[in-house]
Amino acid sequence: MLNILVTGANGQLGSDIEALSLGYEYNFFFTDKNTLDITDEIEIHKFIDLNKINAIINCAAYTAVDRAEEDEEHADKINHQAVKYLAQIAKDKDIKMVHISTDYVFDGKNYMPYIESEITNPDGVYGLTKLDGEKVMQKINPKDSIIIRTSWVYSSFGANFVKTMLRLGKERDELGVIFDQVGTPTYAKDLAQTILEILPQMDNEKVEIYHYSNEGVLSWYDFAKEIMRMAKLDCKINPIETKEYPTPASRPHYSLLNKSKIKSKFNISIPYWKDSLDECLKKMGERK
């Protein structure tokens, strides 16, 4: 029986794992920063020993991309140091571990979908701290453990682009949305289901990295247009360039991830982004 610690349980991915958990014969322990401080190594040890944890899904992350530029110490604690503690105890106690990372470890200057072995070059504190988390996990190298990089996550839970567009689409007649950043959204429920399905199959001596997002390619502009269309909101979406919407942290212009490795290794199929958006909007009662 798997006794699974899920960190960051109140976030989008953690919430979707919890929503799916009743369909699996695992024992889940859902924690957030108030119930388990993953930046405290001693506290992690106590929790894992007390609950006989033999699998970890680390969804916890400092994801405030812009705020991280001025809060590097806090971002590093969660995205790097906490991963170090979790990976070390996973190695010491022979615990499986799934760690969630991001497309921000790349600089977004590619012209082909990123494969896992591509050279990383983060352009900002968030991406740098997430990459440091990847590197320390690979260095410690807990057995039967993987890193999953994902992109543009949204969910029926939490705050995200889809919910923002729905809110603004009801409040305004028109919006400007960036068209020169390209990638693929990831419906957190799809990723959650994949993690739960592949967890018992993980059997590797070295930490493996996999990429996961939904299928297809689009810009934020295309994404917003489809949200408005599916929700039947009468809000005009205007394409704007990144330079017209300056932010403290830069965003990758190209975030497309190649998913061939995870599909081949675990024999999974990945839903098309429009189908997943449709499902999410229906779940939220926003599909018209």
Q: What is the pLDDT of residues 13-54, one digit of tens each?
A: 999 999 999 999 999 999 999 999 999 999 999 999 999 999
Tokens for 219? 């810009």
- Residue 206 CB neighbours (<10 A): 9
Q: Is 24 a catalytic residue?
A: no
Rg of the chain's alpha carbons, rounded to an integer?
A: 19
Structure-token pair, residue 239: 């394409």
pLDDT tens-digit profile of 224-253?
Answer: 999 999 999 999 999 999 999 899 998 999
Is residue 118 packed enough to be buried (19+ CB in 10 Å), middle (13-18) or exposed (0-12)? Answer: middle
User: Cβ(280)–Cβ(187) under 8 Å?
Assistant: yes
In this predicted structure, what is the pLDDT of residue 1? 85
Per-residue pLDDT at 119: 96
Q: Is the pLDDT of residue 62 over 90?
A: yes
Rounded to an integer, what is the distance from CA 54 to the centroid of its chain?
Answer: 22
The per-residue pLDDT for range 144-193, each reduced to its tens digit, is 999 999 999 999 999 999 999 999 999 999 999 999 999 999 999 999 99
Q: What is the DSSP letter of 115?
A: P
Tokens of 91: 């190695």
DSSP state of 77: I
Q: How far apart are CA 200 and CA 180, in angstroms?
A: 39
* Cβ-count burial 63-95 (b if 16+ within 10 Å, e if not): bebeebbeeeeebbbbbbbbbbbbbbbbbeeeb
Q: Which domains does the chain have, with CATH numbers?
A: 3-154+186-214+256-270 (3.40.50.720)
The structure tokens 């007390």 sit at 50
Residues 213, 257: contact at Cβ < 8 Å? yes
* pTM tops 0.95: yes
Mean pLDDT value of segment 198-213: 97
Any idea which residue has 């018992």 for tokens? Answer: 200
Q: Residue 218 above 90 pLDDT?
A: yes
Which of 85, 104, 126, 210 is flagged as catalytic?
A: 126
